[in-house]
Structure 1
Amino acid sequence: MAHIEQRKGGWRVQIRRKGAQSISRTFDLKADAEAWGREAERELQRGNLTVLRQEAQRTTLSEVIDAYLASPRLAAQRSRHNIPVRLEAARARFGKLFLANIRGLDIAAWRDDLLAQGYASQSARHYLAALSVVFTHAERELGIDLPQGNPVRRLALPAAAPARDRRLRPGEEDALRAATENADQIAILTLALETSMRRGEMLGLWWEHIDLKRRTAHLPRTKNGESRTVALSSKAVEALQSLPRRLDGLVFRWKTAEGFKAVWTRWLARARRTALLNKLRTELDSIGLDGEAQARALQWHKREPDPRAAALWGRLQSDPFLDDLHFHDLRHEATSRLFEKGLGIMEVASMTGHKSLSMLKRYTHIEAEKLAKKLG
């Protein structure tokens, strides 16, 4: 029988069972306390002993996130896809709530807010996946019974974005190389195009795992949970040899994906702006401006812009050159180039680390023009 008494904080209900911990909850209204007590007793009579365990009603999402981030066994999993960054966003939204109080409706609202803030559907899916991992950790590793299970799993996810087929256009690779500022940028660009390694795999490279004589780079941990050894082309070896050896043993200077992402954004913008300015000069040449007049026209962005240069520059903004290029697109480019070099499916898979032909196909976009030349 449920025992109900009035206390300072409200009406407290307590249910005791022999051989098990007692359970209790406090309500503002006595009617609510009585209703909960009757429901809990009915569940116990049905043999549902999970009501005796209240961890989900006493543990906040923030506490579970801390436990997940502190688990050494999950270090490799945590490092993927910026999971810590996404978990901090989830903490800001739900951190103070007890697990039992986080409803699918609340998570659906967060999903919609992410999309409304401009996140791509795939990015929103990644945020939801990170939150789902935390609920799974609570169940499997912490032994917390969730009243309704993992609420993320019952949620309708944003539609998956279609597979990207962006490859480098003529001149884009040269423009990216011309816009590099240091040896690290030149090397990571070369490795990306020569090996098809993922960004995270390259940022996690250690010199101790690279054998320049055998021309191999060993990756102890990859996205699919397995290790693999990647063959290095002569260009990739040359790029690695150009790098100074760091004291910490890492090949590249960037410690986080976010740090490199900021560098890539500036790098790409610099390469595109330089390329468009060169095109602008060509356009100004075509309308017959001499050197002095052209120099004045190129000051269009200052207080007294030259109307001809300003008009040409405005038109050039729609040029697709280096537009909408993600660093991950270089993996698509590299994988397609491996096939175009004549490597077989298994050889390419050993380089890229794909386990299935369907996934490998998503990263392969062989140009029809090059296929036509092979057909004769």
Structure 2
Amino acid sequence: MAFFEQRKNGWRAQIRRKGMPSISRTFDLLADAQVWAREVERELQRGNAAVLRDDAGKTTLAQVAERYAVTVLPGKRAHSGKTYLQAAASRFGPLFLSAIRAVDVAAWRDELLAEGLSAQSVIHHLNALSGLFSFAEKELSITLPVGNPVRGIRKPAKPRGRDRRLTAGELDYLLRAARAARARIGGLPQVITLAVESSMRLGELLGLEWSRVDLARRTAHLVDTKNGESRTVALSSAAVAALQSLPLRIDGRVFGWAASDSFEKTWTRCKASARKLYEADCTAQGVKPDPAFLADLRFHDLRHEATSRLFEKGLGVMEVASMTGHKSLSMLKRYTHIEAEKLAQKLG
């Protein structure tokens, strides 16, 4: 039976059951105390006596994060969720699980948005925190009296998927700029070509090893992928030619960039050089440069371009999915933007 008592520091709720230890907690609002009491009594009716141990009131989020990092993270990609997990632990680490409320999580969400983080990044942060609570429930058998607090809040609206494709001449100028920088940065033209020809992500490209590339069969096996599953990508003739033009490295890797961050600087410089080449040609031809040319292009947009080209070549959904690694049509659709003019030609 639940008993409620108003005290100076809030409303105290106490659950008493014959033959069982009593459990109590204090809340600012009576409504919160009543919700907690109902949840505890519901668990007791289900035969979950562990709820009376109040593990959620004795375990901090930092302790859960520490266990999670040891048992779960090693099976994930190094960058997958690690940053978001650390941010969640930094914000709520000292607090007991039972002390973290939905209103606290909502306040953190608003703080992240105010700091300028994108909606998608904030969603990743919230998912990481939610994952810790789920881990505590399922793996550590810790009963959360009011459930996972992250599930009760509104998440930011996801941004619309980018539909940026290469416009006429952009790829040519990128490759010209990349070849001009070849003396200083080996492999830049090849990584751009492979991105457009294979639809591989930047991290997958930079993680390529020669031991997993079969030029005779025209395949590249990817082990470390975003969705955690390995896949084998078919290589076009252009992709094979790009790989054949690369020198073999002593460490066995195809490309020398250590991480995506270091490559992004190279990519930014390449775009700037390509833009200068374009403007110089426009001046020589007496044409006004298009301000949108290469302006908002991201390296990941080359994956959009590659995926759309695969469909335009007539490949089926499953064939494209085997190349891109997408698990569902809805996910694949975000990256597929087939030009209407080319569709009209197919219609006759």
Residue 244 of structure 1 pairs with residue 226 of structure 2: no
Provide the secondary structure at the position in 2 that maps to 1:194.
helix
Matched residue, 2:312: 340
Residue 169 of structure 1 pairs with residue 141 of structure 2: no
Q: Following TM superposition, by how much is the alpha carbon of 1:156 offset from its aligned partner in structure 2, in angstroms?
A: 0.8
The partner residue of 2:98 within 81, 97, 100 is 100
Q: How far apart in 1 are the matches of 2:233 and 2:168?
A: 27
Q: How far apart in 1 are the matches of 2:283 and 2:197?
A: 37
The partner residue of 1:328 within 267, 277, 300 is 300
Q: Following TM superposition, by how much is the alpha carbon of 1:254 offset from its aligned partner in structure 2, in angstroms?
A: 4.0
CA-atom RMSD in angstroms? 3.6
Query: Is the Cα–Cα contact under 8 Å of residues 167 and 330 in structure 1 kept in the other structure?
Result: yes
Matched residue, 1:273: 272
Provide the secondary structure at the position in 2 that maps to 1:218.
strand
Matched residue, 1:6: none
- Equivalent positions of 1:107-256 (< 5 A) are 107-180=105-178, 181=181, 182-220=185-223, 222-241=225-244, 242-247=246-251, 249-255=252-258
User: What does the per-residue CA deviation read over 1:339-367, in whole Å, with 9 as the maximum and x for residues that have no partner?
Assistant: 22222323212211223333222211111
With structure 1 as the length reference, what TM-score do the two structures score? 0.72
Matched residue, 1:86: 84
Amino acid paired to 1:75: P
Query: Is the Cα–Cα contact under 8 Å of residues 203 and 260 in structure 2 kept in the other structure?
Result: no
Amino acid paired to 2:70: A
Query: Is the Cα–Cα contact under 8 Å of residues 23 and 53 in structure 1 kept in the other structure?
Result: no
Provide the secondary structure at the position in 2 that maps to 1:119.
coil
- Which range moves more in the overlay, 141-150 or 159-168? 141-150
Structure 2 vs 1, CA of residues 58 and 177 (structure 1 numbering), >3 Å: closer, same or farther? Answer: farther
Structure 2 vs 1, CA of residues 346 and 135 (structure 1 numbering), >3 Å: closer, same or farther? Answer: same
Structure 2 vs 1, CA of residues 204 and 139 (structure 1 numbering), >3 Å: closer, same or farther? Answer: farther
User: What does the per-residue CA deviation read over 1:268-311, in whole Å, with 9 as the maximum and x for residues that have no partner?
Assistant: 43234334444554676689xxxxxxxxxxxxxxxxxxxxxxxx
Give the number of aligned pairs: 320
Where in structure 2 are there 5+ consecutive unaligned residues? 1-13, 27-32
Q: Following TM superposition, by how much is the alpha carbon of 1:159 offset from its aligned partner in structure 2, in angstroms?
A: 0.6
Structure 2 vs 1, CA of residues 121 and 216 (structure 1 numbering), >3 Å: closer, same or farther? Answer: same
Matched residue, 2:11: none
User: What does the per-residue CA deviation read over 1:113-165, in whole Å, with 9 as the maximum and x for residues that have no partner?
Assistant: 21122222112111111221122112212222222221112221111111211
Structure 2 vs 1, CA of residues 99 and 186 (structure 1 numbering), >3 Å: closer, same or farther? Answer: farther
Query: Is the Cα–Cα contact under 8 Å of residues 69 and 78 in structure 1 kept in the other structure?
Result: no
Matched residue, 1:69: 69
Query: Is the Cα–Cα contact under 8 Å of residues 87 and 130 in structure 1 kept in the other structure?
Result: yes
Query: Is the Cα–Cα contact under 8 Å of residues 124 and 158 in structure 1 kept in the other structure?
Result: yes
Q: How far apart in 1 are the matches of 2:48 and 2:315?
A: 58
Amino acid paired to 2:260: F
With structure 2 as the length reference, what TM-score do the two structures score? 0.77
Query: Is the Cα–Cα contact under 8 Å of residues 190 and 243 in structure 2 kept in the other structure?
Result: yes
Amino acid paired to 2:96: F
Q: How far apart in 1 are the matches of 2:62 and 2:234?
A: 43
Identity %, equivalent residues? 54
Q: How far apart in 1 are the matches of 2:250 and 2:207?
A: 13
Amino acid paired to 1:92: S
